[in-house]
Chain A
């Protein structure tokens, strides 16, 4: 965009510059992971950007919880930085696409770190509006209720509970210790709600509504991504993600089961 001059010419490589550039690479990698990029994609992108910067050999090691990069320069210097990633990523494909475009642009004509930092910051700030996310969840939950064979009234009920799930994701998730606890809480709460509603209103099918809303919570994408990570060679990340996802699924099952059981006993 506004790359005035090639930084190679304007400022010669210096250790200070290298470490600033590497820092931005870590930010980039973290952002990519947090918006749903796969491990091999992150490694590939960071490699390419490093090559474009003029590194002799890039050593990029990415797993879901950490990024380690060592840049080896042709003159023998080495720079290493690492970053620990705590948050499990969501999916935000607008960001991912912008990051991808940014890296393509960088590889064509590298620009200096300040510009890179500014562009990354711009991308980070671009959040999905809440309303859109709510709309998406409602649409997804009610259509999957119908997809699995529920009636229109079930779809409507699923939409209401999908809205509740979104609200809980926004306001309850922050006070929960981790995703597992949150999954137990949200699935217990939603499960109880659906059970009670379907006991009171006989024309609702409890199973269909639950399946529709489970689709929103189920870590299906995480599980399939994990299987694929393992099969294409990112074994550590794949196994980590798989175990994580299995635990989440177990927590969901536990929450819904105890809700069904409790309402069944009390009624």
Chain B
């Protein structure tokens, strides 16, 4: 519960830092909360770190695309802010920490975890993005067809 609230506030902090227009602040930070919620729900069901990040970030990207269409603004601000709670900051830190103390195998395990998360986030985003692109093109085709002879 606290985590969710903090995901919301943290995303809001980044949103302020990234100079989001004020009217978009709330919607964007809610994206962060939802993303983390999805991650939490997925984590016990799916093993590992890749899949939950993947699903959560795909969801975040869809959320961003939908908001962008509704509000007629670029989708970038929404998904950048929504992804922030998913960023594997803690595993990166633990990887470093273990390395300082000389536990190389633990360090590389955390390192791999970090990379898995990053790949998951990137993959989820691009899947969502390509689905949206597809839908846009199909819509365009539909619109163009009656015009053609």
* Chain A-chain B contacts (Cβ-Cβ < 8 Å), number: 156
CB <8 Å contact, B13 and A147: no
Chain A residues with Cβ below 8 Å from B94 are 207
CB <8 Å contact, A215 and B10: yes
CB <8 Å contact, A97 and B73: yes
**Cβ of B135 < 8 Å from any Cβ of A?**
no
Chain A positions 26 through 46: 1 when the CB is less than 8 Å from some CB of chain B, otherwise 0: 000000000011100100000
Chain B residues with Cβ below 8 Å from A247 are none
Q: Are A228 and B129 CB-contacts (below 8 A) given A93-B18, A93-B21, A221-B80?
A: yes
**Cβ of A231 < 8 Å from any Cβ of B?**
yes
CB <8 Å contact, A93 and B76: yes
Task: Considering the complex, give the chain A residue whose CB is closest to the CB of B89.
Answer: A215
Size bin of chain B's contact surface: 35 or more
Chain B positions 117 through 145: 1 when the CB is less than 8 Å from some CB of chain A, otherwise 0: 01101110110011000000000000000
Task: Considering the complex, give the chain B residue whose CB is closest to the CB of A35.
Answer: B19
Among A95, A139, A228, the residue within 8 A (CB) of B12 is A139
Among A97, A133, A138, the residue within 8 A (CB) of B77 is A97
Size bin of chain A's contact surface: 35 or more
Chain A residues with Cβ below 8 Å from B57 are 224
**Cβ of B67 < 8 Å from any Cβ of A?**
no
Among A132, A221, A230, A264, the residue within 8 A (CB) of B16 is A132
- The segment out of A55-63, A105-113, A252-260 that lies at the interface is A252-260
Give, as a whole number of angstroms, the nearest-CB distance from A113 to chain B. 24
Among B13, B76, B93, B99, the residue within 8 A (CB) of A38 is B76
22 of the cross-chain contacts (CB-CB < 8 Å) are A36-B80, A91-B18, A93-B21, A97-B74, A136-B16, A136-B17, A139-B9, A146-B2, A207-B94, A215-B87, A220-B87, A220-B118, A224-B122, A227-B118, A227-B122, A227-B125, A227-B126, A228-B122, A230-B122, A232-B126, A253-B99, A256-B93
Binding site for B on A (CB under 8 A): 36-38, 41, 91-97, 100, 128, 132-133, 135-141, 143-144, 146-148, 207, 210-211, 214-215, 218, 220-221, 223-228, 230-232, 249, 253, 256-257, 260-261, 264
